[in-house]
Amino acid sequence: MSRILITGSSDGFGLVAAQQLISQGHTVYLHARSSQRASDAEKACPGAAGTLIADLSSLSETKKFASEANALGPFDVVIHNAGVFLGPTRRTADTNMPTQVFVNVCAPYILTCLMEKPKRLIYISSMLHKQGDPGNVGDMFWEKRGEDDWNDFKSYCDTKLQLNLLANAVAKKWKGRTSVATVHPGWVATKLGGKEAPDRLEDGVETYVKLAVGDYDQGLVAPYFEPRGHLGEQVAAAGDEGLQGEVVRLLEGKTGLKIPA
């Protein structure tokens, strides 16, 4: 049985995946951004081992989350599921970058740097990474583009491409020690996906569970999975080592943290 931590698991994919993994006998820790959401998650998932509370749009709270997670001991699996879809720019107070960029890319980077290495590390991406613009990597924090140019949908696509670039860089760096994968769970009618989404939540959760329990070829370097655990293909730009290095360099410069060797 595995020890598993899932960020953003107070509802949606993360919560349902936690419920299924607990039913299989795994030890699962939840995450919520507030005490009220934590309480709601624990009622919906009474078998959870515990819930970490942190606002992953905050630099200080994200670092605190990493410290508290490490205090619980090493995890076999960490699933970076928390994310922000649409919304206004809403720059964070402590980093002055768009909240969407911080939650979707910067927070997973910080946790990757600070948490003990798990056996399996899973980043929840999206098929929309294929619509991300590689040309925007250099301005991933929107420091050159002003708020007048902000487009939340285009930024979301960019952040998911940047997340894939980060995951692929980590996969190569930790090859042979940690299996690192990205996942497109499907376009599902969750709070994030909206009511018109055509895919089934169950198919996306199947991928979460399959990867969490290690039911795949863990010798693969930087695999990308789709609903029902099928191997998919990332956009070609996600394999560009120059872009991968640029994303890591920019995140390192912004946070002062380095991915451990």
Q: Which residues are catalytic?
A: 156, 160
Enclosing domain of residue 38:
3-255
Predicted pLDDT of residue 191: 61
Residue 261 maps to a domain: no
Residue 137 maps to a domain: yes
Question: Is residue 190's pLDDT more than 70?
Answer: no
Confidence of residue 194 (pLDDT cuts 50, 70, 90): low
Confidence of residue 40 (pLDDT cuts 50, 70, 90): very high
User: Which CATH number does the domain housing residue 23 bear?
Assistant: 3.40.50.720
Residue 142 maps to a domain: yes
CA-CA distances (angstroms) from residue 224 to 206, 211, 217, 234?
14, 11, 12, 6
User: Mean pLDDT across the stretch 198-216?
Assistant: 93
Residue 260 maps to a domain: no
- Write down the mean pLDDT value for the chain: 95
HSE, CB side, 13 Å, CA atoms: give it for residue 54: 24
Residue 51 maps to a domain: yes
* pLDDT tens sequence across 149-181: 999 999 999 999 999 999 999 999 999 999 999
Q: Which two tokens stand for residue 48?
A: 């959870």
* pLDDT tens sequence across 81-106: 999 998 889 999 899 999 999 999 99
CB contact at 8 A, 75 and 116: yes
Based on the structure, what is the number of domains in the chain? 1
Residue 245 maps to a domain: yes
Residue 250 maps to a domain: yes
Ranges of H-type helices in 45-106: 59-71, 99-101
